[in-house]
Copies of this chain bind each other. A is one copy, B any other.
Amino acid sequence: MKVCRKANFNAAHRLYRPDWSDEKNNEVFGKCNNYNFHGHNYKLEVWIDGPIDPETGYVIDLKILKGIIKEEVIERFDHRNLNIDCPEFKNLIPTAEHISMVCYNLLRAKLDSKYDLSIKLWETENNVVVYEGV
């Protein structure tokens, strides 16, 4: 049985590698390399896979999961500049792939090992990633 809780955060970011020339960064990252950043409304789906607790009929209390997501993800990334304000992306390009991986790791550390976790992250209405761990 899988259950999902959704959340949103709004952040600025820029995709580039400091060890590449401007030409190379523009060629690979295009307008996502805008020097002064751009931003997105990220939509996050946190999926938990586990057994139903026979006492409550819940896989996990979604109010509790909502609190963990708020503390670990939303308060960290919402209304922030991922490149400058967030040490998680100091040496990691904040692509949707990497952001979902970071969210996965932050949430994985707070969840009982009996649960499997997967992350779905919408960067725009047309671009989505899913990460389920390694």
Contacts and interface: CB of A to CB of B under 8 A. Distances in A.
Interface in A15-57: 15, 17, 28-32, 34, 36-41, 45, 52, 55-57
B97 A57 contact: yes
Given A1-B129, A127-B62, A39 B40 contact: yes
Copies in the assembly, this chain: 6
A79 interface: yes
A95 B58 contact: yes
Contacts of A39: 10-13, 37-41
Interface string A71-84: 00000001111001
A85 interface: yes
A79 to B, nearest CB: 4
A98 interface: yes
A10 B125 contact: no
Nearest to A29: B56
A11 B34 CA distance: 10
Contacts of A2: 129-131
Give me the 6 closest cross-chain CB pairs, A-B, nearest first. A39-B39, A36-B81, A57-B95, A31-B79, A57-B93, A12-B12
Interface of A: 1-8, 10-13, 15, 17, 28-32, 34, 36-41, 45, 52, 55-59, 61-63, 78-81, 84-85, 92-98, 100-101, 124-131
